[in-house]
Amino acid sequence: MSSQRSRTGASAARVDLRRVRSRLPGPTAELIAAYERHLELERGLSAHTVRAYLGDVVSLAGFLHGTDHSTDHEAPENEEAEPGTAQPWAAPPGAVGGTGGSGAGQAETGPEDLRPPEGGTENLARAFEGLDIGVLRAWLARQRADGASRTTLARRAAAARAFSTWAHKAGAIDHDPATRLVAPRAHRTLPGVLRPDQAGELLRASASGAAENSPIALRDLAVLELLYATGVRVAELCGLDVADVDFERRLVRVLGKGGKERMVPFGVPAADAVRAWLAEGRGPVITRAERRAGGEALFLGVRGGRLDQRSVRRVVHDAVSSVPGAADMGPHGLRHSAATHLLEGGADLRSVQELLGHATLATTQLYTHVTVERLKAIHDRTHPRAR
């Protein structure tokens, strides 16, 4: 079977996880809702990460209880739903622990909701009764047969291990079967990165457009300069407030994954671009409503509200497309480019890890693969004994 046919088969076999969750036995649905609150409140994970974890856990629960026979309506994997819409794995409005609909229930969630579901240990024991290493392996095997990639299988195995460990500690299962679960190692690849000269060309072209003092052009230049200068994630950029920028020390305060705060330096070109946006561009864009609300967002959309991630991606794609020979990329590509250029310029891994906000050094080490390949290419081209 060709890879194209495999992908088609995987698409056809996608399960409507929202329907699966609605059909789960009460104790199982309650335990999953408790796990959702644990991810949000205790671990402080991002909404996107919580969605991914919950989707995999619901899939596992549906496989265990045989409620995963529906095969339509699921959004493409890793695709973020529009704001205000129910997620494909979310419980229907009104269901136990559901986050579908308006999401108002989340705002009322407090630490007391982290308690186990009603009914105590006896109720918990029925939630995932029968979950063992054989079930976990069979679940992954079916995903593989449906065309799931190695990366997807590795992610789902990790989600299952995290849930199994938590469920064991909560008393829902008497042992942790996922400790023996082994999944294929994911192929961790980096997207294309810009060469330093391409990055410079991209920013010069954006600066040329901003020279006309169009508010949006000034904003776009500031966005591109700050993304490349700091390597921040797109969500971190969109979450910045005006007060987070320290022009005197050229530092920006970033709130990263898990609510972790870090200070990231930026250079003179980024400082000049952000200053120009604040002085000449932001005022005409901000709305009266935003002013009354405090108007704290650093970057604004065309309607005056806080700039969203989709708009930033469009800005980056449009800017990169104007650079001949550059690989198509979004904000994460600029982040990779910044990290690669820092390492090629002599920065040490630990410093780059701190700048990027990586939890482990292993993630940062991915960037060394790019620099080593370039070093080998230079060696092959220039050393007299390379060939």
Bridge partner residues of 263 (DSSP): 253
Four-point Cα dihedral 219, 225, 229, 234, nearest 10: 50
43 assigned to active site: no
Confirm if 226 and 274 have CB atoms less than 8 A apart: yes
Beta bridge partners of 251: 246, 265
From the list 51, 282, 335, 336, the catalytic residue is 335
What distance in Å separates the CA atoms of residue 89 and residue 15, rounded to the nearest whole number?
A: 9
Q: Is 142 tagged catalytic?
A: no
- Amino acid occupying residue 161: R
Query: Pick the catalytic residue: 257, 336, 374, 376?
Result: 257
Q: For residue 260, indicate whether it is catalytic.
A: no
Which residue pairs, CB below 8 angstroms and at least 24 apart, start in 302-307?
A: 302/216, 306/238, 307/219, 307/223, 307/238
Please state, in angstroms and as integers, the Cα–Cα distance from residue 80 to each residue in 46, 74, 75, 111, 302, following that order.
Answer: 12, 12, 8, 27, 22
Q: Tokens 């999944």 correspond to what residue?
A: 183
- How many Cβ atoms sit within 10 Å of the Cβ of residue 104? 9
Spatial separation of the C-alpha atoms in residues 143 and 181, rounded to whole Å = 15
> Is 376 a catalytic site residue?
no
Decide if 174 contacts 127 (C-beta within 8 A).
no
Task: Report the side by side order of strands in the sheet with 245-246.
Answer: 245-246, 251-255, 261-265
The answer to whether the CB of 346 falls within 8 A of the CB of 371 is no
**Which amino acid is present at 55?**
G
Residue 233 annotated as catalytic: yes
Q: Which of 43, 126, 332, 374 is catalytic?
A: 332
Separation in Å, CA 233 to CA 40, 103, 230, 261: 20, 25, 9, 13
Asked whether the beta carbons of 327 and 333 are under 8 A apart, the reply is yes
Q: Catalytic pick from 35, 53, 228, 367?
A: 367
DSSP string, 222-257: HHHHHHHHH---HHHHHT-BGGGEETTTTEEEEE-G
Q: Which of 18, 21, 233, 341 is catalytic?
A: 233
Residue 335 bears catalytic tag = yes
Active site residues: 233, 257, 332, 335, 358, 367
